[in-house]
């Protein structure tokens, strides 16, 4: 799982669930059963909502020592204060056939304020410049491949100290190298999408849909203008942002190499 639920005390819940679950005939396996319920919880958190059948199918009969996953679901999970007792879980009204839901709790999500004031590259100095990048770019950050861009609402803010701003600027403008892999995903900030929709496939089409086409065109214009020596009307950080955005989108395969090449 991702780390945005750092306040969730997994061990404490495992112990509590171990006490809640009906033990098997020999009085064993409570902890294993508790762990299987936590596995269901993880899936529910990831997907936002899931039906009974899907959740039931996640349990392995061998581990929980029930005949079938359905037996485990019916006798150990459904109707007991186990899965539904976990934070953010909303169980369906009996008989409706509605899915189970997970709603992120207030305060859950990234701790933006804790991270917002350090340089994403050296993680030490005070920010001086930086850029706002489209959500999919988070994948290019160090540690960013653990983050689902669809869990991000809006842009990813990468802040850099003065020294790192110049390093990143040189990389992007002169060497055409993205500075993002040098930046720590934990040191950048974004708003968490309130309800995650894990069922949405984050394929290239989705990534593309998350970007405003006109915005991409603007970035291409800025980079072109800078290469033509005609970028006085843009601030240096705006130009940095344009370079880094285009490098990233190319790397992610969202735009082709020909989109911003010089004539």
CB of 176 to Zn ion, least distance (A): 21
CB-nearer residue toward Zn ion: 129 or 136: 129
Our CB check for Zn ion shows the closer of 85 and 122 to be: 122
Q: How near is the Cβ of 130 to Zn ion at its closest, in Å?
A: 10
Q: How many residues in the shown chain lie near Zn ion by CB under 5 A?
A: 6
Residue 52 or 165 having the CB closest to Zn ion: 165
189/231 with CB nearer Zn ion: 189
Distance CA 64, CA 39 (A): 12
User: Environment class of residue 225 by beta-carbon count within 10 Å: exposed (0-12), middle (13-18) or buried (19+)?
Assistant: middle
Instruction: State in angstroms the smallest separation of the CB of 110 from Zn ion.
Output: 20
Residue carrying structure tokens 């020592």? 65
Residue 69 to residue 60: CA distance in whole angstroms: 6
Contact 112, 152 (CB under 8 A): no
Q: Which of residues 109-148 bind Zn ion (CB under 5 A)?
A: 119, 121-122, 125
Residues 205 and 115: their CA atoms lie apart, in Å, by: 31
141-180 binders of Zn ion (CB under 5 A): 161, 164
Q: Pick the closer one to Zn ion by CB: 123 or 202.
A: 123
Tokens 């996640």 identify what position? 58
Sheet holding 89-90, edge to edge: 49-50, 100-102, 89-90
C-beta of residue 46 within 8 angstroms of C-beta of residue 196:
yes
Residue 37 touching Zn ion (CB under 5 A): no
Nearest approach, Cβ of residue 179 and Zn ion (Å) = 11
Report in angstroms how near the CB of residue 203 gets to Zn ion at its nearest. Answer: 34
Residues near Zn ion (CB under 5 A): 119, 121-122, 125, 161, 164
């Amino acid at each position: 799982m991702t780390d945005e639920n750092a306040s969730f005390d997994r061990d404490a819940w495992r112990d509590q669930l171990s006490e809640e679950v009906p033990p098997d005939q020999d009085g064993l396996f409570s902890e294993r059963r508790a762990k299987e319920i936590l596995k269901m919880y993880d899936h529910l958190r990831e997907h936002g909502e899931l039906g009974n059948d899907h959740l039931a199918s996640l349990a392995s009969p061998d581990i929980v020592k029930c005949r079938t996953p359905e037996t485990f679901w019916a006798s150990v999970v459904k109707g007991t204060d186990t899965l539904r007792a976990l934070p953010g879980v909303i169980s369906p009204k009996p008989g409706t056939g509605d899915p189970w839901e997970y709603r992120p709790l207030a305060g859950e999500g990234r701790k933006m304020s804790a991270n917002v004031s350090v340089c994403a590259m050296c993680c030490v100095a005070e920010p001086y410049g930086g850029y706002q990048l489209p959500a999919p770019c988070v994948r290019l950050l160090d540690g960013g491949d653990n983050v689902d861009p669809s869990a991000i609402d809006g842009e990813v803010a990468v802040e850099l100290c003065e020294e790192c701003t110049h390093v990143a600027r040189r990389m992007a403008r002169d060497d055409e190298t993205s500075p993002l892999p040098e930046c720590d995903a934990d040191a950048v900030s974004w708003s968490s999408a309130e309800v995650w929709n894990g069922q949405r496939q984050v394929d290239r089409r989705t990534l593309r849909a998350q970007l405003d086409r006109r915005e991409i065109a603007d970035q291409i214009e800025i980079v072109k203008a800078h290469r033509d020596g005609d970028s006085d009307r843009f601030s240096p950080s705006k130009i940095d942002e344009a370079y880094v955005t285009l490098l990233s989108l190319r790397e992610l395969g969202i735009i082709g190499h020909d989109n911003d090449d010089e004539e």
